[in-house]
Chain A
């Protein structure tokens, strides 16, 4: 069974150049994040490059400091590497929580139908349509000194509707398929049908749900941070952009401080979006037949 799943995954990736590109970029970023302690040590060469006053303040980019130093004399390149791994962790935590919540909501709503579906779908719809940023800001009032995990939980409160919406529409279309009816007439229990018949067919869309929730979560957190309401103690890419704005990097011309985090986040968003669209193109037959590059 695991081998079969692996084969299916490899086949899917081979079928879509877009999906493959997105996954390669993501994998590269995850690798950098995994080795970030090592990379930071290499940059420091004995000293801790992200300690306050490790070097001189506001150094311009050079061979020693690829991206220069900030107002406290910290190496910007090392800070960016560290922040990237924090951003990825938050995206993964929030994406995972949102996907689990989204899958549960989608299954209960889509499979049960009726008034339960009505209530859950209306609620999901409201959260998707209204501007949720002010609500996220309200939550940030609690987040003065929180752990990375708590930030992930906080952000996923607004990221799960993305996953729920995608998956629910698929559950709706799948539950009327003949093989589900067949399982039902053989008196399979609801749970059994969901786990053995529906879930495997939904995996790609759960992937889409995860990618879009992770994207939404990082997006939301960066938003909070650039207006100075980010959770204290968590230094991710958004926080570095905020530091750049408040310390006057814009007027001083210290462009690496905000251009590099922006470029990295843009690349991350692009990779997640490629995974989304790649998966959809592979599994949506209407798009598959005629979709060109």
Chain B
């Protein structure tokens, strides 16, 4: 995790320490830098706000993790003695449950921000929660990242064409299909795919992320196995995701088609395909880049269910396992990682956008 404590202040301070007019002048001469600083400040505020909401949300949940831990230990070691008061107190300190809610909050944030420490996990006690999470993170990034990008590319291209050729039969069918399916949970498609391809036809595996008889490593067999096991979960995300992007791209495309510069391009005698790719498409893929970042949180939500169905060893499965065992530190850790990843992705895309979009100098 990067530093994120009361951050806007730092930005303000640097402005105060220098003569204000000098900073102002510099910023007005460098609008791009001013935009970047503003955007970064907003990012820090959002990150802090989201992490705070998540912390209090989970701390107000009923249930006592320390009692759960002791019960688990007793079950595992058939150990019947009552836990002593000191033992409970020690565990309370270890899990960061000392003091009132505010003290807990300050301590948690301090550990998280300064040391990247999320406290011990319960599902894998005493392994720290961050270690458990880091183990599952690559699987989710691989599955969700690749599927989300693929869906975006397919959706924007098909959506642009559907808008461009509006009124034609193919476009009408695609658009109506997209309206019907854009808001279906990935999980539904995943369930149908599993039933057809795994249980009925027996062509593809229904569970796990790779064949357990193959040793993990950079070998062709292992990579092939990962791809084979990832195909169904990825497909369910790509299919629905594509329909979503088709719909929004088409809605961006349609108003553009009436613009004068397109009429002019046509009057110049440019070919239709050139007008589409060089004039029209550029105006709809830029807003869609921002939209991509915003959609990531939503995709993560859906991904949790898909991972759970396939027993895929990613963040989603870890989250559900942690919830079943009331493992607060891991639940909060997964949530925080997801929040951090999504907000950072949105920030990076927003900072990238000015480089792609020549109109940015008008931005405030």
Contact = CB atoms under 8 A, between A and B. Distances in A.
Interface of A: 18, 122-123, 125-126, 128-135, 137-139, 141-142, 215, 219, 222-223, 226-227, 229, 241, 245, 250-251, 253, 255, 258-259, 262, 265-266, 269-270, 272-274, 277, 280, 286-287, 289-293
A273 B240 CA distance: 14
A212 to B, nearest CB: 9
Interface residues of B, number: 60
A253 B200 contact: yes
Interface in B299-337: 300-302, 304-305, 308-309, 319-320, 323, 331, 334-335
Nearest to B191: A258
B294 A274 contact: no
User: Interface residues of A: mostly helix, strand, loop or mixed?
Assistant: helix
Given A135-B335, A250-B195, 16 more contacts: A18-B179, A131-B300, A131-B339, A131-B342, A133-B304, A138-B58, A223-B302, A226-B308, A226-B309, A227-B304, A253-B200, A259-B195, A266-B180, A269-B183, A269-B184, A292-B166
A130 B338 contact: yes
Contact of B183 (A138, A219, A280, A292): A219
A287 B253 CA distance: 10
B280 to A, nearest CB: 12
28 contacts: A18-B179, A129-B342, A130-B297, A130-B338, A131-B339, A133-B304, A134-B304, A135-B53, A135-B335, A141-B62, A222-B185, A223-B185, A223-B302, A241-B191, A250-B195, A258-B195, A259-B195, A265-B184, A269-B180, A270-B179, A270-B180, A273-B182, A274-B179, A274-B180, A290-B166, A290-B258, A291-B166, A292-B254
B283 to A, nearest CB: 13
Contacts of B301: 131-133, 223
Given A129-B342, A131-B301, A290 B257 contact: yes
A259 B200 CA distance: 14
B251 interface: yes
Contacts of A137: 319, 323, 331
B194 interface: yes
Contacts of A122: 42, 45-46, 49
A141 B63 contact: yes
Task: Name the residue among A131, A142, A269 with the largest chain B CB count within 10 angstroms.
Answer: A131
Contacts of A215: 183
Contacts of B200: 253
3 closest A-B pairs (Cβ-Cβ)? A133-B301, A270-B180, A292-B167
A253 B195 CA distance: 8
A133 B303 CA distance: 10
A174 B75 CA distance: 64
Interface of B: 42, 45-46, 49-50, 53-54, 57-58, 61-63, 166-167, 171-172, 175, 179-185, 187-188, 191-192, 194-195, 199-200, 247, 251, 254-255, 257-258, 293-294, 297-298, 300-302, 304-305, 308-309, 319-320, 323, 331, 334-335, 338-339, 342-343, 346
B249 to A, nearest CB: 13
Contacts, number: 147
A287 B257 CA distance: 10
Contacts of B298: 131
Contact of A126 (B50, B166, B188, B257): B50
Given A131-B301, A131-B342, A262 B188 contact: yes
A262 B305 contact: no
Task: Name the residue among A122, A134, A270, A280 with the largest chain B CB count within 10 angstroms.
Answer: A134
A135 B57 contact: yes
A269 B184 CA distance: 7
Contacts of B49: 122-123, 126
B149 to A, nearest CB: 18
Contact of B187 (A223, A280, A293): A223
A138 B63 contact: no
Contacts of A292: 166-167, 171-172, 254
Nearest to A18: B179
A245 B301 CA distance: 20
Given A134-B54, A137-B323, A265 B188 contact: yes
Contact of A134 (B199, B255, B334, B343): B334
B323 A128 contact: no
Nearest to A259: B192
B46 A126 contact: yes
A219 B240 CA distance: 14
Nearest to B323: A137
Nearest to A135: B57
A271 B346 CA distance: 31
A241 B190 CA distance: 13
Contact of A130 (B171, B302, B342): B342
A229 B185 contact: no
A134 B338 contact: yes
